[in-house]
Amino acid sequence: MADLGYAALVIALGVTVFATLAPLVGLRWKLPALIDGARNGLWAVTALVTIASLALLYLLATNDFKTEYVYQYTSSDMSLSYTLAAFWAGNAGSLLFWAWTLSVCMALVLFQHRAKNRELMPYVTAVVAGTLAFFIGLMIFVSNPFAQMPFPQVEGEGLNPLLENMGMFLHPPPQLLGYMAFTIPFAFAVAALATGRLGDEWIQSIRRWTIFAWLTLGFGVLAGAQWAYVELGWGGYMGWDPVENAALMPWLVGTAFLHSIMVQRRRGMLKVWNMMLIIFAFNLSILGTLLTRSGILGSVHSFSQSSLGPLFVAFMAVSFTGSMALLYYRLPKLRAEHELDSWVSRESTFLVNNLVLVGIAFAVFWGTMFPIITEVVRGEKITVGPPFYNQVTGPLFLILLLIMGICPLIGWRHASRDNLVRNFLYPVAFGVAVGIILFLLGVRKPAATISFAVLAFVTAGILRDWSRAVRARHQMRAEGWLRAFLRLTVSNQPRYGGYIVHLSVVVIALGVTGSMFYPSETTATVKPGDTISIGRYSLKFEGASEYQTQSKQVLASTLTIYNGGDYLGTVTPERYIHRNHDNPVTEVAIRSTLKEDLYVIYGGKNPDGTATFKVKVNPMVMWIWIGWGVMLLGSAVAFWPEMKRWTA
Amino acid sequence: MDSLRRLLGIIPVAVLLATAPAPALAASADRVNEIASQLVCQCGCGLVLNNCNHEHCEPRDSMLAYIGQALDQGKTKDAIIASLVESYGEVVLAAPTKRGFNLVGWITPFAAIAAGGGIVYLAVRAWMVWDRRTREEAVEIAADDPYLLRVDDELKRYEERMG
């Protein structure tokens, strides 16, 4: 089976190299058969990479420990679901997953465009095939998922215990999908530049793919945050680790692109800027894959070191310089069709929004790379951790939220004084009122108070705009409230899907603000029967126990929780020691409410019978996960095929 | 010379670390946490010191113990951090200092945004149509969007009806 998988990859490499070159040769020498051949070749690549992927899944499922990848990431005591999830646990499997999903997406693109965009498609085919050739080449020459062990093995090393969590299914696949999916908009952008067809057609072709890339990457980032929160056991969800940053950068640039593309569609402006954004988003996705898999920057995510780094850098150099050179060549054809009429217009707020989004992405990039720069310049290692990012990006995120509230309230082209007063009065008043009330209630940290006030303003602005339109529909068309709301929403899914996404950002920001500014924690070493107090909570340590399972030793503890004397229940924070891994894995106990999380970390039992616990109260964290769900809903509304007929 | 100075600096801290009692700190846990949140554990986990969750993490335990002991001796936060930097190097800090070359790290993101803002300003000025006629013609919404026109029309009629 390993031979079959490897052979499929070798053939796929040959076909992708052909599919990269054939369209270009076919266009140059007017040989349509070559262009058709390249398209058919990519269908074949999809089949071949699917065969290779199924072969790896089969090897994993059957515990074929002769295969090095299976030996490294699985063991016979693992459940089938985690055994199959090992597909994306290591370098070679992740590369195969990347190539597989890209080949499947490309097949979908070929199907969608079977009878349209005939000028663009040969270039799209060449770019995607070139990217596939790179990833398949890496598997064949550097990181082969089908490599065999020099000696037969009867048992595997097993999955890193940190990866044995639901997050293993929710975080890496969407994140890798998000990275991969930016290839499609990038390919269309390059095709538009190469052909000079820089009108609306390429923009329309990529809208859904960009939302898909943005959604899956965003989903992956939040799933990773949730995973870190429940599994890493330090009580936070964002450590500003290089790999977390790597996912954030293309997502932020993709967010900027999704906004500025509206200005291009509506006003024919920002054409050069949009090209640059999609070029950066793709290259940052490649950088993200590199940082995740190369180990060039220390990270909790880099589960192995590899020699992939220089090859990724070479690929990025080619894709970045090539696409930027094309952009330079086409600059004369990318002039804006309209001018900006006024500073006080939606277009200008989009410009500021883009500036801040790209600014945050740059700040994250800079912080991630600064340790390397310092080491080169000063010869000394430094750390760039959470305090840096919180201080640098915190104010920028606040400005971004403010713009998010302002933008929908300002009209296109030129907003009159009446427009501003009419649209801003109530949201601003609501935001200020919320700020004052919170201040009076004791929320006195300036950044937190301002943040909550801004969030109130954004929410009021969105809901006011939405409710006015629903009310108008209800009155003018005599539709019931619910019907008017639903029909209005589906009458313009991109707009109202966007509003839902904005609301989700508000909900997430609510959770981030609360948990960032008002956490509390205590560490205590106690004996059975003792009580730990934190805020209104009392936690009585009932006792500790140990037991053995097939794969790990479990150290468990039980605590009874009281809130101001009221019994709330028991929690059992644990630690696991996996048979193949020295470091214990923390299994925290979390008692979540909308108001706050009680987060209990078991530090272990001491020789004198006492046990050490770290207990945290993290306010409003649950809102982050609620916002995650709302974001998914909003993206689905924007992504779903438009149902305008239903509203007629 | 730097290495020698660092080596000499390590000695007093190393003595303190070696003799520091593990837990049971008299210093307030909040003060210890506040200082620890600005440091990185040196066990290789890459986490902020008070977030390292390794079971038997010698660097974490001794650094926390040192912070507690130094606080008990009346040392200031800056002095404690400085002595740990002397021992481990700047890599122990969770964020770069705000002096020397490190200042480049802090300033560059804001400088880049300011430069970007300047470019946007110049570009917009170049775009701007100051022509009075054009401004008079400008309307609040795009005239070519049937959806927005319909919503606007409905809102206008609704507001007229409501008085």
pLDDT tens digits along A195-219: 988 887 888 888 889 999 999 999 9
Please tell me the predicted confidence (pLDDT) of residue A643. 63
On average, the pLDDT of chain B sits at: 73
| Spatial distance between the Cα atoms of A354 and A582, rounded to a whole number of angstroms | 46
Q: What is the pLDDT of residues B36-61, one digit of tens each?
A: 888 988 887 778 888 787 767 788 88
B87 plus B109 within the same structural domain: no
Domain that holds residue B116: 102-162
Assess if residue B140 is contained within a domain.
Answer: yes
Split at pLDDT 50, 70, 90, the class of A348 is confident
Residue A119 CB contacts under 8 Å (≥ 6 apart), including other chains: A195, A197
Q: Do A414 and B110 touch (CB under 8 A)?
A: no
Task: Write down the pTM of the prediction.
Answer: 0.86
Measured between beta carbons, which residues in chain A are less than 8 angstroms from residue B95?
383-388, 391
Residue A163 has pLDDT above 70, yes or no: yes
Domain C-terminal end among B92, B119, B151: B92
Q: In the prediction, which pLDDT does A300 show? A: 52
Q: How far is A431 from chain B (nearest CA, A)?
A: 24
Regarding whether B124 and B62 lie in a shared domain, the answer is no
Looking at the structure, do residues B141 and B84 belong to the same domain, yes or no?
Answer: no
Measured in angstroms, the CA of B17 and the nearest CA of chain A are apart by 20
Phi-psi region of A538 (alpha: psi -120 to 50; beta: other; left: phi over 0): beta
Largest CA distance in chain B: 85
pLDDT for res A298:
57
- CA–CA distance, A99 with B117 (Å, rounded to integer): 39
Interchain contact, B128 vs A232, CB within 8 Å = no
Collect all residues of chain B within an 8 Å Cβ-Cβ radius of residue A522: 29
Count the helix, strand and coil residues of chain B and give each as a percent rounded to the nearest 5.
65, 0, 30
Mean pLDDT score of chain A, rounded to an integer?
88
Please check whether residues B88 and B137 belong to one and the same domain.
no
Token digits of residue A309: 């780094």
| B26 shares a domain with B78 | yes
Long-range pairs for A469-478: beta carbons < 8 A, 24 or more residues apart: A469/B151, A469/B154, A469/B155, A471/B158, A472/B151, A472/B154, A472/B155, A472/B157, A472/B158, A473/B154, A475/B158, A475/B161, A476/B154, A476/B157, A476/B158
Please report residues of B whose CB lies closer than 8 A to that of A299.
46
A389/B162 Cα distance (integer angstroms): 50
Nearest to A523 among B29, B110, B135 (CB): B29
Q: Locate tokens 């646990």: which residue?
A: A89
Give just the sign of the alpha carbon dihedral A54, A57, A62, A68: positive
> What CATH code is carried by the domain that includes residue B75?
1.10.8
Q: How far is CA A299 from CA A64, A243, A368, A601, B24, in A?
A: 30, 7, 11, 22, 32
Provide the token pair at B96. 């770069």
Same domain, B66 and B37: yes
Stated as kind and residue range, the H or E segment containing A398 is helix A386-406
Q: B124 vs A267: CB contact, 8 Å cut-off?
A: no
Query: Which of B45, B65, B46 is closest to B55 using CA atoms?
Result: B45
Q: How many CB pairs under 8 A join A and B?
A: 174
Is a pLDDT exceeding 90 seen at residue A492? no
- Looking at the structure, do residues B88 and B106 belong to the same domain, yes or no? no
In a domain, residue B97? The reply is no
Contact flag A475-B108 (C-beta cutoff 8 Å): no
Nearest to A109 by CA among A227, A256, A209: A209
Q: Which two tokens stand for residue A34?
A: 């070559």
Q: How many of the other CB atoms lie within 10 Å of CB of A321? A: 10
Stretch A330-359: mean pLDDT, rounded?
82
Residue of chain B whose Cα is closest to the Cα of A387? B95
Record: contact A380-B46, CB cut-off 8 A? no
How much is the pLDDT for B27? 56
| Chain A nearest C-alpha distance from B128 (Å) | 5
Average pLDDT over residues A183-202: 90
The pLDDT assigned to A318 comes to: 94
Q: Which of B154, B160, B161 is the best residue to mutate to test the A interface, defined by the most A CB atoms within 10 Å of its own CB?
A: B154
pLDDT tens-digit series, residues A15-68: 999 999 999 998 888 888 888 999 999 999 999 999 999 999 999 999 999 999
Q: In this predicted structure, what is the pLDDT of residue A32? A: 86
Q: What percent of chain A has pLDDT over 70?
A: 95
Residue type, A54: L
The CA–CA distances, whole Å, from A74 to A77, A289, A505 equal 8, 22, 38
Q: What is the mean pLDDT of residues A103-124?
A: 90
Please classify residue A394 by burial: count the beta carbons closer than 10 Å to its beta carbon, then call 0-12 exposed, 13-18 middle and 19+ buried.
middle
Are B55 and A471 inside 8 Å of each other by CB?
no
Confidence bin at A299 (pLDDT 50/70/90): low
What's the pLDDT score for residue B55?
A: 66
Q: Is residue B151 part of a domain?
A: yes
Helix (H) or strand (E) holding A541: strand A537-548
- Pick the residue from chain A with its C-alpha nearest to B52: A234
Nearest residue of B to residue A521 by CA position? B30
Count of domains for chain B: 2
Q: Are residues B72 and B121 in the same domain?
A: no
Domain end, chosen from B92, B124, B151, is at: B92
Which member of B46, B102, B161 has the closest CB to residue A382? B102
Lowest mean pLDDT across A123-137, A494-508, A559-573, B46-60: B46-60
**Å from A385 to nearest chain B CA?**
5
Residues A559-583 have a mean pLDDT of 85
Answer whether residue B15 shows pLDDT above 50: no
> Which of residues A310 and A305 earns the better pLDDT score?
A310
For residue B148, being part of any structural domain is answered with yes
pLDDT band at B8 (very low <50, low <70, confident <90, very high): very low
Per-residue pLDDT at A89 exceeds 80: yes
- Report CB contact under 8 Å: B89, A392: no
Identify whether residues B134 and B81 lie together within a single domain.
no
Q: A417: which residues sit within 8 A by CB, 6+ positions away?
A: none
**How close does chain A come to B94, measured CA to CA in Å?**
5
What burial letters (b/e) apply to A513-526, b meaning 16+ CB within 10 Å?
bbbbbebebbbbbb
Query: Domain residues of chain A, as ranges?
Result: 520-623
What is residue A185's three-state secondary structure? helix
Interface test with B, best of A383, A416, A470 (most B CBs within 10 A): A383
Identify whether residues B63 and B123 lie together within a single domain: no
Do residues B29 and B79 both lie within one domain? yes
Query: Residue A607 has what pLDDT?
Result: 83
The ipTM assigned to this model is 0.81
Q: Which of B62, B92, B122 is the last residue of a domain?
A: B92
Q: Using 50, 70 and 90 to split pLDDT, how confident is the model at A397?
A: very high
The answer to whether the Cβ–Cβ distance between B96 and A601 falls below 8 Å is no
